[in-house]
């Protein structure tokens, strides 16, 4: 299998965690005789500083010419005063739009070993396995008109969806589906609900339920096991997936894949965490699990993707933790740096694949 992967490591802990994801993918390539080529380009704050724009043209060009893009994280406090499209986050939204992926898959799972890291009781979260399908190219993130009129002291955004945008993301998600909206207040949500209900006719074997987003925020905490696939619009998905990080115990664990466009885009859910950048404290597991999604969705390498996921479980079982996961009773636990954790995962992947 041949894959050209563009790495846009971005800001903060982005370079550290993508470094470990790339190392894991290289290990898979060696073990399986695959040909993975990696190119690096700038995005976000580092690109603002060096190129004067959060998404330089050569980054975009390389992204469009690649088979998959692995993005670290963007953002930094020094850019907070810039208008939204000039900020590091503006570069991220621009590359998402250019690559065209509209369905952002964000799995949320509990790890028995990490139950102590969650403020929720183990019996509530145990066995949780939800796939959030977050619509990524619409809603308030891209809707117009949008403005902060400082003179008038008024700011507004537009949460807008066309029926086609709802239908295409609903089709990706149909599998014991919960659709989340705010149809008791918002017209855009009424359209959302009607369009998802219409798509349901194409999937007679799938059960569909609707939830309002405020209620859903509560249900995910009370009874996360009851949900299988959850489809929702861009901003609700942004919020609910961070909330779901509470189930896993650390946002540092969660991967994501954006599919449906010209080139798939892969990003861990966590941010750039500038406060711990460069210290070897960052948790690379979310990025490494994002690497597994590249293997699954861009490489068709299911066994290798599963091997990485199993290796992550195994190192947790063996008591290895990064600093963000090292809470509670530390007996039997070993705290590792970003690099050490990456190496541990590779070691276990290697053992598993060589044996197989």
Closer of 56 and 90 to Mg ion (Cβ):
90
Catalytic residue of the set 58, 85, 214, 226: 214
The three-state secondary structure class of 68 is: strand
Helix or strand holding residue 103 (H, E): strand 103-109
Q: Is residue 228 annotated as part of the catalytic site, yes or no?
A: no
The token pair at 285 is 């597991």
The pairing of beta strand 264-266 with beta strand 68-73: parallel
Contact set for ligand IPM, span 202-261 (CB under 6 A):
238
How many helices (H) and strands (E) the chain has is answered by 12, 14
Q: 236, 237, 136, 229: which is closest to 178 by C-alpha?
A: 229
Binds Mg ion by CB under 5 A, chosen from 20, 238, 267, 309: 238
Question: Per CB under 6 A, does 133 bind ligand IPM?
Answer: no
Query: Which letter does DSSP use for residue 326 in this model?
Result: -
Closer of 92 and 220 to ligand IPM (Cβ):
92
Binding part of the chain for Mg ion, among 4-12, 34-42, 146-154, 232-240 by CB under 5 A, reads: 232-240
Contact set for Mg ion, span 282-341 (CB under 5 A):
none
Closer of 14 and 342 to ligand IPM (Cβ):
14
Closer of 227 and 266 to ligand IPM (Cβ):
266
Q: Closest approach of Cβ 112 to ligand IPM, in Å?
A: 26
Q: 336, 332, 218: which is closest to 288 by C-alpha?
A: 336
Binds ligand IPM by CB under 6 A, chosen from 92, 188, 253, 281: 92
Q: Closest approach of Cβ 337 to ligand IPM, in Å?
A: 25
Q: Closest approach of Cβ 293 to ligand IPM, in Å?
A: 14
Q: Is residue 205 annotated as part of the catalytic site, yes or no?
A: no
How many residues in the shown chain lie near ligand IPM by CB under 6 A?
Answer: 5
Written as one string, the DSSP assignment of 117-185 is: GSSS-HHHHTT-EEEEEEE-SSGGGT-SS-EEETTTTEEE------HHHHHHHHHHH-SSEEEEE-TTT
Rounded CA-CA distance 16/30 in Å is 21
The token pair at 60 is 């975009």
Catalytic residue of the set 11, 181, 238, 324: 238
User: Between the CA of residue 106 and those of 25, 197, 231, 239, 258, what are the distances in Å?
Assistant: 20, 22, 10, 12, 9
Question: Per CB under 6 A, does 135 bind ligand IPM?
Answer: no
Closer of 23 and 251 to Mg ion (Cβ):
251
Binds ligand IPM by CB under 6 A, chosen from 11, 16, 27, 89: 89
Q: Closest approach of Cβ 85 to ligand IPM, in Å?
A: 12
Task: Name 340's Cβ contacts closer than 8 Å, sequence gap at least 6.
Answer: none
Binding part of the chain for Mg ion, among 13-21, 92-100, 185-193, 230-238 by CB under 5 A, reads: 230-238
Catalytic residue of the set 11, 141, 181, 266: 141
* Neighbour tally for 254: CB within 10 Å: 24
Q: In the complex, which residues of this chain contact Mg ion (CB under 5 A)?
A: 238
Residues contributing to the site for ligand IPM (CB under 6 A): 75, 89, 92, 238, 269
Catalytic machinery residues: 141, 182, 214, 238, 242
């Amino acid at each position: 299998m041949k894959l050209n992967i563009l790495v846009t490591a971005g800001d903060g802990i982005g370079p550290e965690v993508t470094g470990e994801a790339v190392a894991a993918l290289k290990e898979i390539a060696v073990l399986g005789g695959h040909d993975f080529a990696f190119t690096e380009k700038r995005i976000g704050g580092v690109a603002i500083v060096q190129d004067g724009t959060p998404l330089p043209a050569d980054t975009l060009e390389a992204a469009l010419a690649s088979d998959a893009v692995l993005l670290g994280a963007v953002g930094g406090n020094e850019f907070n005063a810039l208008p939204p499209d000039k900020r590091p986050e503006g570069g991220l939204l621009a590359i998402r739009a250019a690559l065209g992926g509209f369905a952002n898959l964000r799995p949320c799972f509990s790890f028995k070993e990490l139950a102590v890291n969650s403020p929720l009781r183990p019996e509530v979260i145990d066995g949780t396995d939800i796939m959030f399908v977050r619509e990524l190219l619409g809603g308030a993130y891209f809707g117009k008109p949008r403005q902060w009129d400082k003179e008038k002291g008024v700011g507004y955004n537009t949460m807008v969806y066309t029926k086609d945008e709802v239908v295409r993301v609903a089709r990706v998600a149909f599998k014991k589906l919960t659709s989340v909206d705010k149809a008791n207040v918002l017209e855009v949500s009424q359209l959302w609900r009607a369009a998802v209900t219409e798509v349901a006719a194409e999937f007679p074997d799938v059960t569909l339920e609707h939830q309002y987003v405020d209620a859903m925020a509560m249900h995910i905490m009370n009874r996360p096991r009851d949900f299988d696939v959850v489809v929702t619009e861009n901003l609700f998905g942004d919020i609910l997936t961070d909330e779901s990080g509470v189930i896993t115990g650390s946002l540092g664990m969660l991967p994501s894949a954006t599919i449906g466009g010209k080139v798939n885009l892969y990003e861990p859910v966590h941010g750039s965490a500038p406060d711990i950048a460069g210290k070897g404290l960052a948790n690379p597991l979310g990025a490494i699990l994002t690497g597994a999604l590249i293997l699954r969705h861009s490489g068709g390498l299911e066994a290798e993707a599963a091997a990485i996921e199993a290796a992550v479980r195994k190192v947790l079982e063996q008591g290895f933790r990064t600093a963000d996961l090292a809470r509670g009773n530390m007996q039997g636990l070993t705290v590792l740096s970003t690099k050490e954790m990456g190496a541990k995962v590779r070691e276990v992947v290697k053992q598993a694949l060589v044996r197989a």
